[in-house]
Amino acid sequence: MPRSNTTFIDLRAKLATYMNEQELVFIERAYDRAFAAHEGVKRESGEPYIEHPLAVAMTLANFSLDSPTIAASLLHDVVEDTKVSLSSLEREFGKEVSCLVAGVTKLQRVRLKPSFSFLPSFFQKRAEEARNFERQVESLRKMLLAMTTDIRVIFIKLADRLHNMQTLDAVRPDKRARIAQETLEIYAPLANRLGMGSIKGQLEDLAFPYVYPHEYKDLHDRVGGKLTAREVYVLRFQKILTNFLQKEGVPVSSVHGRAKHLYSLWRKLQRYDGDLSKIYDLVAVRIIVPTVADCYQTLGLLHSRWNPLIGRIKDYIATPKPNGYQSLHTTIFGPDGEIVEIQIRTTEMHDLAERGIAAHWHYSESKHAKKVAERESRTKLEWLEELHKWQASLKDPNELKRILSLDFFSDQIFVFTPQGDVIKLPAKSTPIDFAYAIHSDVGNACTGAKIDGKIVPLDTKLDNGDIVEIMTAKNPQGPKRDWLTFVQTQKARSHIKVYHHLS
Ligand code: MN
What local confidence, expressed as pLDDT, does residue 120 receive?
47
pLDDT tens string 329-361: 999 998 888 888 999 999 988 887 877 767 655
Cβ neighbors of 236 (< 8 A, separation 6 or more) are 335
Distance 91 CA to ligand 1 centre (A): 22
Burial class from Cβ neighbours inside 10 Å (0-12, 13-18, 19+) for residue 398 reads exposed
Distance 138 CA to ligand 1 centre (A): 23
What local confidence, expressed as pLDDT, does residue 2 receive?
42
* 491 Ramachandran zone, left/alpha/beta (phi>0; psi -120 to 50): alpha
Distance 105 CA to ligand 1 centre (A): 9
Distance 160 CA to ligand 1 centre (A): 5
Distance CA 499, CA 142 (A): 35
Quote the pTM value.
0.72
Distance 45 CA to ligand 1 centre (A): 14
What local confidence, expressed as pLDDT, does residue 273 receive?
80
Provide the sign of the torsion angle of the four alpha carbons 11, 15, 16, 20, taken in this order. Answer: negative
Catalytic residues: 80-81
Is 425 strand, coil or helix?
strand
Beta pairing, strands 254-259 & 283-289: antiparallel
Beta pairing, strands 446-451 & 422-426: unpaired
Low-confidence ranges of the chain (pLDDT < 50): 1-2, 115-120, 122, 362-381, 383-384, 388, 390-409
What local confidence, expressed as pLDDT, does residue 496 receive?
94
Distance CA 180, CA 366 (A): 35
Distance CA 393, CA 293 (A): 32
